Amino acid sequence: MTTPSLGVAVIGHAFMGKAHSHAWRNVGAFFPEAPRVRQQVLVGRDPARVTAAARDYGWTDVATEWTTVLDRDDVDIVDVCVPGHLHAEIALAALAAGKHVLVEKPLANTVKEAEQLAAAAAEAHRHGVVSMVGFNYRRVPALALARRLVAEGRLGVVREVRAAYLQDWLADDDAPMSWRLRQDTAGSGALGDLGSHVVDLVRHLLDDEVASVSGDLHTFTRERSGPDGVERVTVDDAAWAWLGMASGARASVEVSRVATGRKNGLCLELYGTEGALTFDLERLNELHVTGRDGGFERILVTEPTHPYVGAWWPPGHTLGWDHTFTHQASELLCAIAAGEAVRPSFDDGLAVQRTLAAVEDSARDAGRRIHLDSAIGAAP
Amino acid sequence: MTTPSLGVAVIGHAFMGKAHSHAWRNVGAFFPEAPRVRQQVLVGRDPARVTAAARDYGWTDVATEWTTVLDRDDVDIVDVCVPGHLHAEIALAALAAGKHVLVEKPLANTVKEAEQLAAAAAEAHRHGVVSMVGFNYRRVPALALARRLVAEGRLGVVREVRAAYLQDWLADDDAPMSWRLRQDTAGSGALGDLGSHVVDLVRHLLDDEVASVSGDLHTFTRERSGPDGVERVTVDDAAWAWLGMASGARASVEVSRVATGRKNGLCLELYGTEGALTFDLERLNELHVTGRDGGFERILVTEPTHPYVGAWWPPGHTLGWDHTFTHQASELLCAIAAGEAVRPSFDDGLAVQRTLAAVEDSARDAGRRIHLDSAIGAAP
Amino acid sequence: MTTPSLGVAVIGHAFMGKAHSHAWRNVGAFFPEAPRVRQQVLVGRDPARVTAAARDYGWTDVATEWTTVLDRDDVDIVDVCVPGHLHAEIALAALAAGKHVLVEKPLANTVKEAEQLAAAAAEAHRHGVVSMVGFNYRRVPALALARRLVAEGRLGVVREVRAAYLQDWLADDDAPMSWRLRQDTAGSGALGDLGSHVVDLVRHLLDDEVASVSGDLHTFTRERSGPDGVERVTVDDAAWAWLGMASGARASVEVSRVATGRKNGLCLELYGTEGALTFDLERLNELHVTGRDGGFERILVTEPTHPYVGAWWPPGHTLGWDHTFTHQASELLCAIAAGEAVRPSFDDGLAVQRTLAAVEDSARDAGRRIHLDSAIGAAP
Amino acid sequence: MTTPSLGVAVIGHAFMGKAHSHAWRNVGAFFPEAPRVRQQVLVGRDPARVTAAARDYGWTDVATEWTTVLDRDDVDIVDVCVPGHLHAEIALAALAAGKHVLVEKPLANTVKEAEQLAAAAAEAHRHGVVSMVGFNYRRVPALALARRLVAEGRLGVVREVRAAYLQDWLADDDAPMSWRLRQDTAGSGALGDLGSHVVDLVRHLLDDEVASVSGDLHTFTRERSGPDGVERVTVDDAAWAWLGMASGARASVEVSRVATGRKNGLCLELYGTEGALTFDLERLNELHVTGRDGGFERILVTEPTHPYVGAWWPPGHTLGWDHTFTHQASELLCAIAAGEAVRPSFDDGLAVQRTLAAVEDSARDAGRRIHLDSAIGAAP
């Protein structure tokens, strides 16, 4: 390992900051071929809380201003784990400071911000700076295997995709109002939060681009109570889309936060001319695959030949959700060491954002199909 | 049993004629409280084939012209099992002749025909004539239980329905051309064949009406070879719809004949404010139900307290697809004995037909939502 | 169809009589290549009840004495559906009268009776008389497919079988006393009722013989209330056995009537050197199969190439439990037409009985392994 | 957090050393209420390999002799991750040196060693020294929930347990000979490796003791090739046991390394008077539970109210196998902080060892039931 180690700063220490910290702490134990990592700085606004988090999660230093990490020579990677409306400012500054950047998904709340980020990432890449957007589900071994099987032609030509991402934390009308339910802070509701994952995965699994979009949005509970009293909910509870892919494939997408009983039900079905596969995130270690003549085979994706799995445990010893971030960290580190671009890139993040914007536009026009300019796209 | 027995004539002895014959032959053994049935006449064009079928399936007489059964006093029920474009003529004549009528789904190939049939059925009902359309999946015990649970409020207010009916017999580009793939004989493709079941079930399970529709259709394989050489396929391989229900519920529908690996995958998911349920026709004896706090419970719908099941076997002794027709026959017979209307009525068949037509209209207009006049409807 | 039709008499019209009647009524519709059947006589002690049953189930005549059917020339087949302690007398008399005989499982309550029956069947076969014991689960398409896969070597050498048959109708201590819980009428409890099916299937699927047995029995609820007050339960609630097969395979068996939540859970797992398969009767239409390198494939056993299935419906249209009896009837009829022996034979019934007796002997000797004389056996 | 931090030494850095290192590295991030851990020393024989492992896994120092850690004041906990025949020597010395001790399962290869260890642990406990045996599956959230449900009476009185632990890494006759297949190094085969987990879990879930045992062992492949040529396999490939529990419950156990298709199939079924539950380690985040009247409910054990889960991620974000060790580490640390004993204790390890020895004794006596002296036991 002659590669020098890389210092990391994580901005944010809530849910995503905890998950990313987990990845940085563990990546070296399982992916020793990647550059070593130094957990340099954890950034958070509240000094007491960030100090406690840093101690628990293994960080050397803390900071309360994210700007301070840009000047530190011991920080090579800036990992942005704050809410979406703050992504652009931080990531643009980090790229300008020559830091490699990982941004949690979705890349930004608006197409305009996403365009700025993609342009900045392209510019920075000319100087050897690597950037990535955190669509971590590409790193689920079963989904990485799914992509491999599609690429190998095991499904033939994929015709239909049936996809959903269903949760239920808003099924209760009494669930409280929060910033996530306001359009100005959250950008959108289920569409941006869950739909962005689904759109990214459809593009990724098929190695394809979205060419046209029909969309619909709905808010079942239009008012909720919060600390400031009853307030209007300004984002969607659920969203639907039909995607026409550049290849000719058709994808149906349904995302919801009111699907009672579904905790984290990211369900994918791909139907091709020669085979099909299905996946459910609630059974993260399994992929179900069929050819044309047989039934669905339940593959327990824990064999050493499966993507990422060789780094871990013997067959049958399942992985959890959190290690998708460890895989993601490993991919970013190896790209930095190789001086190469890595996907999902900011261009991928932008393509997703444009698709989601088209869903909203279509929804405003009674579901009429909108054709996307797919200039930005599938190039590896 | 003082009710007089009823004579039945089945028109058609192919797939559906065989299934309906099975029902008429067995209904008395399991539903002795229904009027007795006499399997009087089986009608088919080919004398040799209809004679063989009649012997195998238990029919007393045969006929090669369906018109002849209308004059027979020993025929009380005419059961129409021929392709859809022949439904209207036969059913209208039978109603005019005072026969009770069962028509296989879909009720007709066009809205116009369906309207004629509904009007004729209403008129005939004034004279004690009973009519029914054969949406047999209402008679699956698990789905009858699902409707009961919804009606009892176990799901609270149903918000989202995610439905699909997926088959794969056209996944192979080399599957041959046939009358089912021509618009003039079949009316439509997956939409009419599979979508009609789904639309009927959504209306039935929610006791609700379709208020608006967005639709899309696609034919993946545009030409197929048949006995007459290569020919253009003029119906859809797959169809998609979003249904806005009168209650405010939203339903997404996907039907396909090219979903590799799905043999008879009628998959329903209902999400309500208080609970949810899922069903898959490939596991016909199961219903999965959850409340708001727990996980999905797999109910094996074979208990004596479950709909229809008391007529059959002890708990755990599963039923097959064909007995849905036996249940259907029993319902029709009991309605005749009681002199009451029964559902799914021709009005139900018409409502389905209008919905499917709206899907096609919407598809022609790039998916734009169409609002239905739901004057015909949900009255029990 | 030049084969003359065959007249059937069923003795008994309770649960099994109803199921067998179903088979005789339907076999001609699905297996037209088998000889035609005449549903001649239904026999039962209570004149009113047997008359009602005969009308419902499609029988021409009734009788209250089983002996009367032996003299009728229009009866070719005697089908014995009464409790086990009555099997021997009726079946011996029927064989002596030259009737073909079908006996519900288990063949008899004792080894001695089973030996008499096997000897009589062998003698009768010399005169062209066919006999069969009603282990209907051999006729489940998925299990017939399982046997085919084993025979074809798809599993390599089968090493381990893990089998259970679990029900729960006695889980409640308050379930009432009945003749089934008395040793003198029922012979045994879960062991004879459920264990006989399992032992038959292990022998059948592996085409193998039981060579040694260890056994254990237990009665969890030792007293139950009945019409005559509290009474001692004299049969087992649950039983366990390890079978050493002649081939060297090992099978573990667990049967229970107190397995809460299991309604009809006949669960089989076969592990071989090259593959494995699993089955659960509660999902009767499915077989799960794996090779050495992959995962379990869920085969929906509804394809025309699967055993028995071609007679029925298109792919994906599932069958129910009751049609196993229809298949059984077809097999018996074809054997009679061909003048050939058919399995499961009375020898098979005897082999099962000897195995069950050895389980009881072993249980009395603290589980010590008992070696069987397997002179009677696997010859087809 | 005023509790002083605790220094850990792990002996061994192969499979289990890697898994335990993972736990020590991560426990502080998720269980901040436990004492802090210092990853002090990793011990291994090969200097280069242990150095590389220590760097990857986060250890400060390395040592090639385990004895050296006993003298270090900065080591408070000795964690023994070497093969079973080395457990006793190391653990006895560590206890004598006043170190807290964690020993991987099974506690020892022989009852005699296990007795010495249990005695030493009891003695050491008088001086505040804490010891634990690493039956990590007690720490699977679903199984911890299972124990809670049993303890709360949700299953009523548990009558039957049906348990198996099935793997397939020896299904291939060409799998190579190794120390794990020699009796003198491995102690036993599937019985000790897999059966020890099952016996521990049955005792743990039921809070019960094994009172009697019947056993059987089998080696399907009697010779295997290794580096030294063909050699006789002297341990079992598969083992079976019936356990009579002190409570009256009956448990059947089957363990195998030749169960083709099963990668890590630890399958448990508990049947009680009021309910039942099932679990499969290949679906580690799920527990299936039923009451007396309903079907099995699939509980996704990822709710904050479920054991251990509150420390991790939101509902529906599943955990992997490796975090069972993190939970185990947390339990040990909290016990040390509290100065209290913790289970599974060395007494638990001894009770398991005695049960396994009884299985072997019974197997040598043709399966005859053996009654255990259960003086060592279930006291918490």
Of B15, B29, B323, the CB nearest to C56: B29
- Which CATH code, of 1.10.10.10, 3.10.290.10, 3.40.120.10, 3.40.50.720, is assigned to C6-137? 3.40.50.720
pTM score, whole prediction = 0.97
What is the spatial distance between Cα A176 and Cα A169, in angstroms, rounded to a whole number?
A: 10
CA–CA gap between residue C173 and residue B187 (Å, rounded): 59
**Top CATH class, A138-320+330-371:** alpha beta
* A224-230 contacts, C-beta under 8 A, 24 or more apart: A224/A173, A224/A175, A224/A176, A224/A177, A224/A181, A225/A174, A225/A176, A225/A177, A226/A176, A226/A177, A226/A178, A227/A176, A227/A177, A228/A177, A230/A177
Chains in contact with B, where contact means 3 or more Cβ–Cβ distances below 8 Å, are A, C, D
> Distance (Å, rounded) from C-alpha B59 to C-alpha B24?
10
Architecture of domain D138-371: 2-Layer Sandwich (3.30)
The label of the residue with tokens 């030294």 reads D228
The residue-averaged pLDDT of B253-266 equals: 98
pLDDT score for A373: 74
- Note the pLDDT of residue C378: 36
Whole-number Å distance between alpha carbons of C107 and A239: 61
Residues of A (284-303) whose Cβ lies below 8 Å from C? 290, 294-300
Any chain B CB within 8 A of the CB of C20? no
pLDDT of residue A2: 57
Q: Across chain A, which distance is largest between two alpha carbons, in Å?
A: 61
**Would you state the pLDDT for residue C293?**
87
Residues on chain D touching C261 (C-beta within 8 angstroms): 271, 275-276, 290, 292, 295-296
State the pLDDT at residue B2.
56
DSSP state of D195: I
Residue-level pLDDT at D140: 98
**Spatial separation of the C-alpha atoms in residues C318 and C300, rounded to whole Å:** 8
Question: Of A322-336, B35-49, C174-188, C288-302, where does mean pLDDT reach its minimum?
Answer: C174-188
Regions in chain D scoring below 50 on pLDDT: 1, 375-380
Q: Measured between CA atoms, how close is C78 to chain B, in angstroms?
A: 21
Q: Does residue B318 belong to the interface with chain D, where contact is any CB pair within 8 Å?
A: no
Closest in D160, D168, D269 to C238, CB measured = D160
End-to-end CA distance of chain C: 28
Chain A environment of C296 (Cβ under 8 Å): 297-298
**Interface pTM, i.e. ipTM:** 0.95
Average pLDDT on A108-112 reads 94
Checking if the pLDDT of B195 tops 70, the result is yes
DSSP letters of C167-231?
--TT-STTSPP-GGG-HHHHS-SHIIIIIHHHHHHHHHHHT--EEEEEEEEE-S--EEEETTEEE
- pLDDT tens profile B216-247: 999 999 999 998 899 999 999 999 999 999 99
> Quick one: pLDDT at residue A379?
36
Domain coordinates in residue numbering, chain C? 6-137, 139-323+340-371
Q: How confident is the model at residue A228 (pLDDT cuts 50, 70, 90)?
A: confident
Measure CA of the first residue to CA of the last residue in chain D; give whole Å.
Answer: 28
- Give, for B299, the enclosing helix (H) or strand (E): strand B296-300
State the smallest CA–CA distance between residue B120 and chain C in angstroms. 33
- Which position has the higher pLDDT, B3 or B69? B69
CB D303 within 8 A of CB D185: no
Residue C1 has pLDDT above 80, yes or no: no
Q: Lay out the sheet containing B37-43: strands in order across.
A: B61-63, B37-43, B6-11, B77-80, B100-104, B131-134
Cβ-Cβ contacts under 8 Å, C217 against chain D: none
Cβ-Cβ contacts under 8 Å, C296 against chain D: 261
Contact B295 D299 (CB under 8 A): yes
Cβ-Cβ pairs closer than 8 A, C with D, add up to 124
B-facing residues of C in 123-182 (CB < 8 A) are 167, 169
Q: Does C121 touch chain B (CB under 8 A)?
A: no
Contact between residue C329 and residue C132 where contact means Cβ atoms under 8 Å apart: no
* Nearest by Cα to C206 from C256, C258, C244, C257: C244
Best residue in C278, C289, C298 for a mutation probing chain A (most A CBs within 10 Å): C298
H/E run at residue C346: helix C346-364
Q: Which residue of D has its CA nearest to A56?
A: D29
C-alpha Rg value of chain B to the nearest Å: 20
Q: Which of residues 223-262 of B touch C (CB under 8 A)?
A: 262
The fold adopted by the segment(s) B140-371 is: Dihydrodipicolinate Reductase; domain 2 (3.30.360)
Query: Which is more confident, B293 or D73?
Result: D73
Q: Has residue A100 got a pLDDT over 70?
A: yes
Write down the pLDDT at residue D376.
43
With an 8 Å Cβ cutoff, are D171 and C216 in contact? no
Among residues of chain B, what percentage have pLDDT more than 70? 97
What does the pLDDT average to over A114-140? 98
Which CATH architecture is the domain C139-323+340-371 placed in? 2-Layer Sandwich (3.30)
Q: Which residue has the higher pLDDT, A63 or D374?
A: A63
User: What pLDDT is recorded for position B1?
Assistant: 44
Residue among D60, D87, D200, D140 at smallest CA distance from D326: D140
Show residues of chain D in contact with A313, CB under 8 Å. Answer: 15, 19, 321-322
